[in-house]
Chains A and B, each alone.
Chain A
């Protein structure tokens, strides 16, 4: 089973709203990722959690706040977003062995629209 689930599938929010995106995997993977994808562009890495610790923050604005409550769950808290933050947000996970990049498996994504 290589399933990563994401909720919600679609989200529309105003610039003053606070919302959260959720991601879940039950494959025993120890690395989880958030990507942002604009239309007709490749995914851009935002954050990486490895063994529930934030390992990479790709200079993402503080209005995006990641959280990894446990090894199966990954959240992305959104606050005071801008219209240019509208995009597809993808979650991924991978089972990492030391020094060997494992395959990242992606969820279906959340399509976010900021009004």
Chain B
């Protein structure tokens, strides 16, 4: 069965600290996709990144970086020099490739990040 585990329920940091959010997934498929979403207090889920199982290159986008390691089934997310605006709940999600014109996302429980001034 597919599963996504975000073991960190809440993280609290002071502004400018670096912070890493962990994500561990389980799937029996060889082709799958991983996602990170940000949910600020306003409620909207904001898409951050999509990664397929054949692309293990790490990615950097500004202060955000992602470390994908198939050997440990992990897809961790690091925010460098955190800011108050980064305060949100972050969800890691897994989707399987399939047919039918749609996909199902399996979400982790989410990690609530609080960045204090």
Interface residues of A (CB under 8 A from B): 2, 30-31, 33, 40-43, 45, 48-51, 55-56, 88, 90, 92, 94, 96, 98-109, 111
Contact = CB atoms under 8 A, between A and B. Distances in A.
Given A101-B96, A103-B35, A96 B110 contact: no
B43 A56 contact: no
Given A42-B107, A43-B107, A88-B43, A55 B97 contact: no
Contact of A43 (B45, B100, B103): B45
B58 to A, nearest CB: 19
B101 A101 contact: no
A95 to B, nearest CB: 10
B98 interface: yes
Nearest to A42: B107
Interface of B: 33, 35, 37, 42-47, 50, 91, 95-105, 107-110
Contact of B101 (A30, A43, A103, A109): A30
Given A101-B95, A103-B50, A111 B43 contact: yes
A51 B101 contact: yes
19 contacts: A41-B110, A42-B91, A42-B110, A43-B45, A43-B105, A48-B104, A50-B102, A56-B102, A56-B104, A88-B43, A94-B103, A96-B100, A103-B35, A105-B47, A106-B44, A106-B45, A107-B44, A108-B42, A109-B43
Contacts, number: 74
A99 B102 contact: no
A99 B98 contact: yes
Given A100-B97, A101-B33, A45 B47 contact: no
A111 B100 CA distance: 30
Contact of A31 (B44, B50, B102, B110): B102
Contacts of A104: 47, 103, 105
